[in-house]
Amino acid sequence: MAGESVRDLLEVAVDIAEKAGEITLRYYQGRFAVETKADTSPVTVADREAETYIRRAIESRFPQDGIVGEEFGEIRARARRRWIVDPIDGTFSFVRGVPLYGVLIGVEQDEEPLVGVIHLPALGETVAAARGEGCRWRGQRAQVSSTAQLRDALWLTTDLDFDADAAGSSALDRLVDAAGPARTWGDCYGYALVATGRADIMTDPRMHVWDCAALLPIIEGANGRFTDWQGRRTIRGGNAVATNGVLHDEVLALLKG
């Protein structure tokens, strides 16, 4: 395919993500082997089968595009347009039979994020966005919250292992003290909640490009902000924070210490 619009790319990305989600559901809450990768994260046959499908589906439509995936690495690294995928974001949840996992597909052109899809197979939800097209959820325009006070904000995180500073304090401590209720509804589900106005802040101390690529266009499409902890608009910062935008600078100040 050539000359496709971002809307075309979004439609394809949603279709691929939903079909990959069907593959994961064949294994979800079933019995299967779980392996441990070098970085101690789990991987399953469902991860590999879903990513294999995603890659084949992309290559059949866009054979010149690059692909980056968590399980099988990168091909065509010099391509101007790249698809960046995580077949199961939240494998820890998946292997425990917890429904808060998702399929992530992001598309970037010249390293500028264009399209993002979070598909949550076990919940039957999809949050998707494309540059200039806004963010959609359940057939409606998705919009971040209007919460203006940090003390009223619902803050989410995937991982409580925040590094401490020299005085023994951490960004975790500062956020717990300053924000409202905290919950660990993590991985991509937390970002879906921020994009749809059901939560106000989502933080992750450790992130890879395949974790982030889908998230930036989704959060921005819902009129929020997505950066690393230094405030850089990037999917390659190694950590991430998403907010409704109103709270972003205040949250960054707490994360930086």
| Per-domain residue ranges of the chain | 6-133, 150-256
- What pLDDT, in 10s, does the model give residues 164-220? 544 445 777 888 888 877 778 889 999 999 999 999 999 999 999 999 999 999 999
| Cβ contact 103:192 at 8 Å | no
Q: So what's the pLDDT on residue 95? A: 94
H or E segment to which residue 130 belongs = strand 125-130
Q: Specify the pLDDT at position 1.
A: 46
Residue 159 has a pLDDT of 77
Q: What's the pLDDT score for residue 32?
A: 87
Mean pLDDT of all residues in the chain?
A: 93
CATH number for the domain whose boundaries are 6-133: 3.30.540.10
The per-residue pLDDT for range 38-74, each reduced to its tens digit, is: 887 889 999 999 999 999 999 999 999 999 999 999 9
Mean pLDDT of 74-87: 97
d(C-alpha 49, C-alpha 65), whole Å: 21
Report how far residue 78's alpha carbon sits from residue 36's, in angstroms, rounded to the nearest whole number.
30
At residue 37, does pLDDT exceed 90? Answer: no
Q: What is the model's pLDDT at position 169?
A: 57
What topology does CATH give the domain 150-256? D-Maltodextrin-Binding Protein; domain 2 (3.40.190)
pLDDT of residue 177: 84
DSSP alpha helix (H) spans, the chain? 6-27, 45-61, 91-95, 171-178, 187-195, 209-212, 215-221, 248-256
Lowest mean pLDDT among 82-96, 109-123, 175-189, 201-215: 175-189
For residue 2, what pLDDT is reported? 57
Residues contacting residue 143 through CB under 8 Å, at least 6 positions apart: 135, 196, 197, 222, 223
Q: Is residue 98 within 8 Å of 65, Cβ to Cβ?
A: no
CA distance linking residue 89 with residue 42, whole number of Å: 11
